Amino acid sequence: MDSILVTGNGPLSGQIPIAGAKNACLTLMPATLLSEEPLTLTNAPRLSDIRTMTELLQSLGAEVSGLQDGQVLAMSSHDVNNHVADYDIVRKMRASNLVLGPMLARLGHAVVSLPGGCAIGARPMDLHVHGLEALGAEIELRDGYLHAKAPGGLKGAVINFSFASVGATENVMMAATLAKGTTVLKNAAREPEIVDLATCLRKMGAQIDGDGTSEITIQGVDRLHGATHPVVTDRIELGTYMLAPAIAGGEVELLGGRIDLVGAFCEKLDAVGVAVEETEKGLKVSRRGDQIAAVNVATEPFPGFPTDLQAQMMALLCTANGTSVLEERIFENRFMHAPELVRMGAQIDVQGGTATVTGVDRLKGAPVMATDLRASVSLILAALAAEGETVVNRVYHLDRGYENVERKLQAVGAKIERIKSR
């Protein structure tokens, strides 16, 4: 397996372009199953997860091409000839379950394996199933597969989610676009990826209101047509690279960055002593002083602090002046990066869903192992501020969510390289 070698090299300076959002693109791609006409996505990130979703859609009979230098994905589902999403593909990635709602809505039946992905908690499918059953679907779990059918078609309903699940909101919203009547999603997720999906679906002819709020209304239509849609900026990649100059020092401009995508995150950066300035091209980030202040962080659904930036924020707080408390409220088992940061000299005490981080003067390079996608990049960030060399192993996780991470950090002065496996 490949590894990443990072040598602490002082302050960073320059520009980093931010890609289209992985999580948004993985949601937009299954929307092609809702229509016979082509769906084209621009600003699509070139990531292994996108290739996995491409493989899944192609296995169902969809045509998917593109992702050349123009970062364009051209898709067509005019001849979907398979309704089984096989375990061998679905196990690779949690977002694979998002084909369930579209297939059920357009084809009337679907068989989808229970999904896999990073080992950061159970993330069950119960809210997805609850929402689709409320629309009239009949769903049975057999041999690790969800067998779903809607013999009478889907019908609008009022659905009150017990938790503001992003995936369940996306799956049910897509299904509801072709249901008969009106669907109201209460306690819906509010993430920018939800808004981006709704915007794309409206371009395809869907009637959706309230996205970005906790109540979304969908008036079902008979059919959807083709569209072209740009994928929204990746707020998690944005937040990750905003932390690079915060940890290593210097000043970096994030091209395409938007404060509205990372508002709660920016509030915490301000509290620790990091300045974020809007520019014509994006956001400029720099440290105000020599030291970072301690701060408490609790992850919450959007617009709160993102769980997908918790590991990266922990890396920053490892060198803060004082003690910080990070509380993980979204996923269980999401502090697996903490022992690896401890190998680099960090002082972290994990008790259940809470991590107490006492800042140290300096981290030290060490061999560490990535346990999931965001843990991978948190270790790279920590290594930017560490003395000596850090080798991050098992970085295949990294390639699922970060495009050209070495090249982007090299461009702002980081000493980082990929070591290819033999």
- pLDDT the model gives residue 71: 85
pLDDT of residue 231 exceeding 50: yes
d(CA 283, CA 384): 20
* Given 118, 200, 266, 318, the catalytic residue: 118
pTM, rounded to two decimals:
0.92
Q: What is the pLDDT of residue 122?
A: 46
Predicted confidence at residue 115, as pLDDT, reads: 76
Helix (H, G, I), strand (E, B), or coil: what is residue 340? Answer: helix
Alpha-carbon distance of 414 to 72, in angstroms, equals 29
Ordered DSSP codes for 123-136: --SHHHHHHHHHTT
Closest CA to 244 of 269, 210, 208, 217: 269
For residue 281 the two structure tokens come to: 């091209």
Average model confidence (pLDDT) for the chain? 94
Q: How many CB atoms lie within 10 A of CB 151?
A: 9
Binding-site annotation, residues for phosphoenolpyruvate: 22-23
pLDDT for position 229: 98
Fold of 3-18+233-419: UDP-n-acetylglucosamine1-carboxyvinyl-transferase; Chain (3.65.10)
Residue ranges of the chain that CATH labels 3.65.10.10:
3-18+233-419, 22-230
The span from the CA of 359 to the CA of 326, in Å, is 13
Give domain 22-230's CATH number out of 3.40.50.10950, 3.40.50.180, 3.40.190.10, 3.65.10.10: 3.65.10.10
Q: Tell me which residue has tokens 């501020």.
A: 385
For 112, the token pair is: 């989808």
The position carrying tokens 């974020």 is 276
Catalytic residue flag (residue 25): no
> Which residues fall in the annotated binding site?
22-23, 94, 123-127, 308, 330
Query: How far is the C-alpha of 377 from the C-alpha of 7, rounded, in Å?
Result: 15
Binding-site entries for UDP-N-acetyl-alpha-D-glucosamine: 94, 123-127, 308, 330
- The tens digit of pLDDT for each residue in 351-375 reads 999 999 999 999 999 999 988 888 8
**What's the CA gap between 158 and 43, in Å, rounded?**
34
For residue range 110-125, list pLDDT tens digits in order. 999 987 544 434 456 8
